[in-house]
Amino acid sequence: MAGNASSPPLQQSLWRRQLAEALAAIPIDRQRRLRPLQPAAGGAALLHDGGTPLLDLASNDYLGLSRHPAVVAAARTSAAGEGVGAGASRLVSGSRPVHAALEDNLAAWLGRERVLLFPSGFQANLAAVQALADRHSLVLADRLIHQSLLSGVRCSGARLLRFRHNDLNHLEELLLKVRAEAPQRRVLVLSESLFSMEGTSVDATALVALGERYDAAVLLDEAHALGVLGAGGRGLGHGLQGIALLSGTFGKAFGSGGAFLAGDQLVMDWLLQSSGAFRYTTALAPPLAAAAQAALTLLLEREAAGDPAGPALLRRAARWRQALVAAGWPRPPGNGPILPLLVGDDGQALALQERLARAGLLVVAIRPPTVPAGTARLRLVLRQDLPAGCLARLLHALGPPPPPVMPLHP
C-alpha cells in the first residue's frame, strides 16, 4: 500500500524515540532488574540465580505461611478439583463457593458487614478510592501512602492534598480548612496501619475520630498489618466502625495471593454495583482463595490456643531493634516486623546490599523513587520462620553504619 511505503522505519518512530530518551534519562544505579530466586529446602532460604543460598530477610511472608503444609494442601486440593483459574469475572461465571466462604469468614473475623475479593492489592486500592471519591471530592492523604492509593486518586479525578507522615495535627488543620470553605464537599482520608517502607503505624483510633468529627470517609490500608498487628492479627482498624473501607491482601502474612475490601453493607453494595475494577476482571484464582482460607483458619486456631502469631513476631522485632541500636544504627522506626535502616546515599545502600548477599543474606536496598531522595535504605523484614542466629549473622555482616545516618521520618 502507498501509505506503508512512506511510513518511517520502526526504529525512527517518534513515540519510540521518546521512550528511549526517557529510559536513557534514568540513572543506571536506579534502573530496576528482575532477580529470579528459586525457593530452597528449609523455608526461609532462597537460592539466588541457582547460586549460594540466601537467608530471606526481604519478603513479606511474615508468618511463613506460604509454605505451611495446610496452606499448600488447600491450594493443591482446590486446583485439582476446580482448576487453576476461575475463567471469568465474578459477575459472569467466575464466582465459586470458596470465594463466598472466604468473604463471609473474613467479614466475621474482621467484624465487618461484608467483604469483596480482588485479584491484587493494587487493584483493590484503585477500586476503594474510586468508590469513595470522584472529581468533585477532596482526598487528604498521608504523604507516604502506597502508589496504588495515589493511582486511585488520579483515576478518581479528585483533588489531592497530602499531610505530613502520621501527623494527625496537620491532618486536622486541613480538615478544619476544608470544612470552613466547603461544608458539603465529600472528603476522603487515606492512611495505612503499617507503612511498608517506613515500618511506622498510624494512630488508627485518633485517625477515625478525626474522620467522624469532620464528616470525612476514612480508607485504611491494612495490607502489612493483617496477621501481625491488632487483636489476633486483625489489624489496627479492628473494632473501629468509623472506617469506611479496609483494604487487605493475602500475599503477605496470609502466604497466598489476592486481596479484599471490607466495609458496611452500603459501601460494599456501592462497590459491587459501580466498581469497574471488580466487575471487569477475572475472579481471584480459586486455589489462592482456598490457601487464604487455610491461613485464616490457622490464625483462628492459634488465637484459640492462646498463642496468636503476632505478639511473638513483635517481641522478636523489639529485640532486633535493640540490637541494631547497640551496634550503632539509629533505631528503626515503629514496632512491627519491618525494620528500615536508613543509609541515605543510593550507592552506599547498594554496596551494603551486595555485602550482605556475599554473607548469605537477602536484604534489598530501597531507593528513590520508591522512597524520597536522600533516604535510600535497607529494608529488613522479620519472619516467624527465620532460624536462630540470623540476627548475629546480620550484625556481623553489616558492620558499623556508614556516615552520615539520619533519622527516618518522625
Question: Which residues are catalytic, by number?
Answer: 60, 146, 192, 196, 221, 224, 252
303 to 25, 119, 298: CA distances (angstroms): 52, 27, 9
Q: Sort residue 199 into left (φ over 0), alpha (ψ -120 to 50) or beta.
A: left
Are 238 and 230 within 8 A, CB to CB? yes
Are 188 and 139 within 8 A, CB to CB? yes
Picking from 241, 378, 311, 231, the residue whose alpha carbon sits closest to that of residue 63 is: 311
**Residue 301 to residue 73: CA distance in whole angstroms:** 17
CA angle 129, 206, 371 (to 5 degrees): 55
CA dihedral 389, 305, 63, 387 (to 10 degrees): 20
Measured in degrees and rounded to the nearest 5, phi and psi for residue 238 equal -60, 130
Residue 229, SS3?
Answer: coil
Q: How many CB atoms lie within 10 A of CB 392?
A: 10
Residue 215, SS3?
Answer: coil
Are 194 and 201 within 8 A, CB to CB? yes
76 to 22, 23, 66, 290: CA distances (angstroms): 44, 41, 13, 9
**Residue 285 to residue 82: CA distance in whole angstroms:** 10
**Residue 130 to residue 270: CA distance in whole angstroms:** 11
Residues 6+ apart with CB under 8 A from 254: 65, 226, 227, 291, 292, 295, 296
Burial group, residue 404, by CB count within 10 angstroms (0-12, 13-18, 19+): exposed
Determine the residue type at 311. Answer: P
Place of cell 482520608: 189
159-163/187-192 β-pairing: unpaired
**Residue 324 to residue 401: CA distance in whole angstroms:** 10
